[in-house]
């Protein structure tokens, strides 16, 4: 364990180095308590600015315009009397995370009190575990600069991984949307089984549709009209027509009171006889007309 003089000398020397490096980022709370503002490296800021933008959309923020970093952390250091043989008390607080890269916000993120605990965001917990590991590797020497540098590198790496995950998810979503759109025009392959299944369903639907239309039509008719309509829908089969010796037209004529014709009487010979008789009548009529014209001339 270092003496009081060695302890104070170590803190004073380290503070001088830190003040020369973190001119604007360092805040001295007391002799034994420091705060260092940590921002990711500038190389990843364009990636941060592009998070949440649609393809082809231009970021409104940029490094050139001096836009503030979307992510700002605070590394809080509380020295102990065993330092540097023991690590200082360390905590990470999220001061800004406009892109939500570090996970959902918690109540501790906006707590600026000296006793503020480390945020329980999963990403911050991971960063804290990395700091603890580096602190153990740096025992016996001033380590605050090493811890701050490691935290900046770690959050930069975390951002790169997170942006890659976001881009991969967005790409997968776009591909799924394109595939879904293409599926609309691809259709379903027609097989005999599928066609037979569709045909049965189609015929059922058409039969139901015809029945509904017929029922609606019958509702508009009187009782007598409905009865006549139902009779008209009942047609004799082909076998019945053959046995009857008539046609559908004959059946309709009978229903309207027309005289029924016995088609069995009209044999081929009968039709031929009637034709000859008709020709003889025509010839006789022609001769009679000729004689009439001759008498007129003699007169």
Checking 89-93 for CB contacts under 8 A at 24+ apart, the result is 90/128, 90/131, 90/132, 90/135, 90/147, 91/116, 91/117, 91/118, 91/128, 92/118, 92/119, 92/124, 92/127, 92/128, 92/131, 92/151, 93/118, 93/119
Residue with the two structure tokens 């009857």: 244
How confident is the model at residue 115, as a pLDDT?
38
Q: Is residue 281 part of a domain?
A: no
Q: Is residue 81 part of a domain?
A: yes
The whole-number average pLDDT for the span 31-36 is 94
Q: What percent of the chain has pLDDT over 90?
A: 33
How confident is the model at residue 175, as a pLDDT?
87
pLDDT, greater one: 137 or 56: 137
**Residues 36, 73 contacting (CB under 8 angstroms):** no
SS (H, E, C) the chain: CCCHHHHHHHHHHHHHHHHHHCCCCEEEEECCEEEEEECCCHHHHHHHHHCCCCCCCCCCCCCCCCCCCCEEEEEEEECCCCCCCCCCEEEEEEEEECCCCCCCCCHHHHCCCCCCCCCCCHHHHHHHHHHHHHHHHCCCCCCHHHHHHHHHHHHHHHHHHHHHHHHHHHHHHHHHHHHHHHHHHHCCCCCHHHHHHHHHHHHHHHHHHHHHHHHHHHHCCCHHHHHHHHHHHCCCCHHHHHHHCCCHHHHHHHHCCCCCCCHHHCCHHHHHHHHHHHHHHHHHHHHHHHHHHHHHHHC
Checking DSSP bridges between strand 33-38 and strand 71-78, what pairing results, if any? antiparallel
Q: Which domain holds residue 131?
A: 4-179
Q: How confident is the model at residue 163 (pLDDT cuts 50, 70, 90)?
A: confident
List the Cα angle 212/216/220 in 5-degree steps: 165
Beta bridge partners of 26: 36
Q: Is residue 253 part of a domain?
A: no
**Is cis: bond before 84, omega within 30 of 0?**
yes
How confident is the model at residue 237, as a pLDDT?
62
Query: What tokens were used for 120?
Result: 């329980």
Query: What tokens were used for 89?
Result: 């008390």
Instruction: Report pLDDT digits (tens) over 233-268.
Output: 776 666 666 666 655 555 555 555 545 545 455 566
Structural domain count, the chain? 1
**Residues 29, 11 contacting (CB under 8 angstroms):** no
Q: What is the CATH number of the domain that holds 167?
A: 3.10.110.10
Q: How confident is the model at residue 281 (pLDDT cuts 50, 70, 90)?
A: confident
How confident is the model at residue 105, as a pLDDT?
65
Q: Is residue 170 part of a domain?
A: yes
How confident is the model at residue 137, as a pLDDT?
95
Q: Is residue 72 part of a domain?
A: yes
Average pLDDT value for the chain? 80
Instruction: Report pLDDT digits (tens) over 3-22.
Output: 888 888 999 999 999 999 99
**Residues 156, 41 contacting (CB under 8 angstroms):** yes
103: left (phi over 0), alpha (psi -120 to 50) or beta: left
Closest CA to 246 of 264, 232, 233, 230: 264
Phi, psi dihedrals of residue 234, rounded to the nearest 5°: -90, 110
Question: Is the pLDDT at 279 greater than 50, yes or no?
Answer: yes
Q: Is residue 18 part of a domain?
A: yes
Q: How confident is the model at residue 112 (pLDDT cuts 50, 70, 90)?
A: very low
Q: Is residue 219 part of a domain?
A: no
How confident is the model at residue 109, as a pLDDT?
47
Q: Is residue 23 part of a domain?
A: yes
Q: How confident is the model at residue 65 (pLDDT cuts 50, 70, 90)?
A: confident
Instruction: Report pLDDT digits (tens) over 83-110.
Output: 999 999 999 999 999 888 887 765 554 4
The whole-number average pLDDT for the span 131-157 is 95
Instruction: Report pLDDT digits (tens) over 220-235.
Output: 778 877 777 777 777 6
What is the pTM assigned to this prediction?
0.56
How confident is the model at residue 178, as a pLDDT?
87
**Residues 162, 36 contacting (CB under 8 angstroms):** no
């Amino acid at each position: 364990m270092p003496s009081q003089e060695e302890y104070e000398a170590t803190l004073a020397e380290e503070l001088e180095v830190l003040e020369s490096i973190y001119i604007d980022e360092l805040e001295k709370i007391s002799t034994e308590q420091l705060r260092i503002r940590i921002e990711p490296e500038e190389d990843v800021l364009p990636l941060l600015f592009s998070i949440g933008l649609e393809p082809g959309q231009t970021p409104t923020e940029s490094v050139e315009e001096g836009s503030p970093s979307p992510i700002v952390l605070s590394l809080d250091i509380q020295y102990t009397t065993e330092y540097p043989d023991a690590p200082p008390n360390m905590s990470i607080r999220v001061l800004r995370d406009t892109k939500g890269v570090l996970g959902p916000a918690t109540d501790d993120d906006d707590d600026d009190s000296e006793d503020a605990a480390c945020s329980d965001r999963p990403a911050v917990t991971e960063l804290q575990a990395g700091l603890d590991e580096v602190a153990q590797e740096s025992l016996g020497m001033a380590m605050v600069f090493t811890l701050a540098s490691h935290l900046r590198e770690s959050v930069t790496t975390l951002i790169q991984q997170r942006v890659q995950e976001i881009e991969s998810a967005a790409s997968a979503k776009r591909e799924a949307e394109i595939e879904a759109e293409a599926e609309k025009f691809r259709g379903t392959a027609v097989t005999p089984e599928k066609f037979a299944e569709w045909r049965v369903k189609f015929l059922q639907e058409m039969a139901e549709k015809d029945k509904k239309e017929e029922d609606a039509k019958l509702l508009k008719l009187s009782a007598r009209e409905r009865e006549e309509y139902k009779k008209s829908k009942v047609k004799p089969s082909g076998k019945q027509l053959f046995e009857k010796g008539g046609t559908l037209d004959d059946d309709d004529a009978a229903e309207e009171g027309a005289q029924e014709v016995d088609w069995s009487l009209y044999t081929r010979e009968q039709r031929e006889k009637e034709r000859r008789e008709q020709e003889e009548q025509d010839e006789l009529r022609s001769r009679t007309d000729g004689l009439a014209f001759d008498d007129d001339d003699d007169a």
